[in-house]
Amino acid sequence: MSSVYLSVIIPAYNEERNLSSTVKEVAAYLLKQDYSCELIIVDDGSRDNTLKIAEACRDIFKDLKIISYPMNRGKGFAVNKGIFEAQGDYILFMDADNSTSILEFEKFKPFLNTE
């Protein structure tokens, strides 16, 4: 069993406008939890300042991992890269534009097998 309960993966391609606010909301949520967690941002070959913003987010959340590669490979590839690096017993991925808030995880948690 892993020492990390939840890994949150955020695939990002040209998300300089959205990434910082999403990370702030996710970090605020995760820091209030009584379980261990990590946040993984996967920069999918962005051509804007997504990677630079992701790096600046290290100040917001200490357990932040950043994966980056130079060529855009698509969302599925980015999610897969994040899953491969994740250490959590449970893995959640969410969009960088925060279209579904991390707060929705509360509704999902009762359905996890925690035996």
pLDDT per residue as tens digits for the range 66-92:
999 999 999 999 999 999 999 999 999
The C-alpha atoms of residue 33 and residue 76 are separated, in whole angstroms, by 28
Residue 42 has pLDDT above 90, yes or no: yes
Q: Are 107 and 80 in contact (CB under 8 A)?
A: no
The C-alpha atoms of residue 108 and residue 13 are separated, in whole angstroms, by 26
Q: Are 7 and 87 in contact (CB under 8 A)?
A: yes
For the chain, the domains span: 1-7+15-36+47-71+89-115
The pTM assigned to this predicted structure is: 0.94
Higher pLDDT, 109 or 99: 99
pLDDT per residue as tens digits for the range 53-65:
999 999 999 889 9
